[in-house]
Structure 1
Amino acid sequence: MIQLNSGLWRVGVLVASLGLLAGCDDASNAQQAGNEADTSGAGSGELAGLLESVPSGESTLSISGAATSTGEYTTADDPRYGGVSNDNFRPARGGGASRRGSNAEGPYAISIYTDATHEDDPDNVVRAWVSLVLPEGAEAGNRYQVASFSDADDDQAQAHVRGDGMAWTFSRQVSGSVYLDEYGEHVSAAWQLEAADGRGEDASRVASEGAVKDLPLTLQSEVDYEMTVNGETESRFARANSRDNMLNMGNGVYFYLPSGASAGSYPVQAGRDDDAVRVRFTQHEVDEVSGELTLVANGERFDAEFSIDASGEDDVHLAGNLRWLALEDE
């Protein structure tokens, strides 16, 4: 379990420094490690050495084979690499075969960015990245074998190499390992892996290695609530998707917070009002809505408690908590 610091809330732009590929763990080493984490740290010397070459707050990533890293652009120098294009360490987001994580319990994911070209279109430089979704309960000092998102065992890391806009993806026949030197409110890690764009022997392949040092955990907005509809109660814990002060709570429930909302209590209603929280139920038929939502500052983010009653063709009661909300500026 990671103990969260309330002041920890965003990842700054990191400098991507490209290095030459030194090679991936060979197949015999992967077989020797098997599917279990190497808790002794044995076999992690090369990865630890790679990590030592990276300054604090920076990363390095190289890709070779059917796709090749170029170093033509960096996340620091090109404006198209803002926002989610920065290197990041955060709870795994789920979707498809990917694991889904929470702020406190994980599992957590690391994504490191650079630029690369594909052999089929060598003049097209695209943003490229490696994503590593670590096992639940991963610990610093351990080395974990990697596999594809769909094939990874519970004690293996999920991994793939991709180009921007799904220009290309290497997510099959994944092998290699990732070493965690630090793993908590920050991550320091190094990896070497191979991946293919298909399952056959003729599939195109890439090799990649990289490292990141002292990358802070980016917390996600989370919601934990109970929803009772016509006497039937369901509990839900999930990531709260937010955009322009609109929060998607799941189950067809949307909150719309006032522009410039800050700490304080707000009435909840169905209609629009500059001083109230609007709630919309898209999966239930309701006419009347009442309730209250209270925002409390948590560093530069907010926590919230809410209790809402709605009636009509359906009777709905919704009560719970939101954590680590990032709201728009006034």
Structure 2
Amino acid sequence: MPKNNAKRSPSATPLLGPVRSSSASVKLIRPIDLAAPTVEALDEPLIANVEAYIDTVEITYPRRPKGLLAEARAILGRKGWFKDIIDTKGNRWGVRLHLHQPTPELLAALDKYGGSLGRFDIAFDIIPRDMSIEMMARVIRECAILRWRRPQAMFEIEGTLYWTEWHPGEVRPDRNLAEYHDLPSKIDGQPAVHLELRFQTSDATKAQNLQRPSQLATLNPRALFDRHIRILDFQLHIADDINSSANPDRTRGFYERNYQRRVQLFKDRQPHLIKLLEPLNSRFAIKDHLTWGAVSGPKDAFTWLTRDQQSQHLAQSQHPSSALIMQPANTEEKP
């Protein structure tokens, strides 16, 4: 995450308290068992194709294992690096290995060096079928929930939205969700919405029954996505509430002002209503195995694209979309 010395930015979502609306009743949508998608849901058209891959891995050691960096460089063709782990009193008690887009071969080779798996990020490159990248990003930002997250602020910095606010120097949350869409997919260079599910502590990785780096290669991204992320049709819920309201502008302002149109913040205040919103997970085509071959590169540059691909990506990202799949019933009230 980019460094940010300020403890809170104006872009951070304020902490939430109970909210009541005198003008907008919360409209209940048909109850659905979120753990078991219905047959009707499985027959609905897909919203997007999704490629999943390992993005970042961190492994902690008491000291630098001899020969590890040389072997990692020989397998990857690029550098990994160690960073000292220093406590608040300035004492060094270990080192942390950082790797981006590791291969199955490297993950298997790392087993013999021991260490503790302290972090891994699963990246989901979401490629929409019938909408623009900007509209797909809006769906993810407004409709995605990080499950079992305690009520707190969301945070946006440099175009990346984080579901849990965190700043350097603070204790890492066990899990986080991050989204940005200003860069193409690291798999094939297509415009994509990039969503990362981050397990940021050793406790979080152990909760996934992972003890060795090689076990990451056998992860089921579809199962991880469904277990930790829930996409709900919050846009339809808002549109229905606006269309049935006697004062649509006031109702629209209520959702903008109190929830920023984000279902995660709605869940923080109205957790008992979340199970009544329609789930959309089954409409995202996610494989049950990882995709390999992601190209490493910093977020602030198209380092994995050729010049021709860069110009093509920019042209495609500026192309207007057709219609958003979750259209409101009244087009005049479309958000």
TM-score, with length taken from structure 2: 0.24
Q: Which has the higher contact order (CA 8 A, sep 6+)?
A: 2
Higher fraction of helix: 2
Higher fraction of strand: 1
TM-score, with length taken from structure 1: 0.24
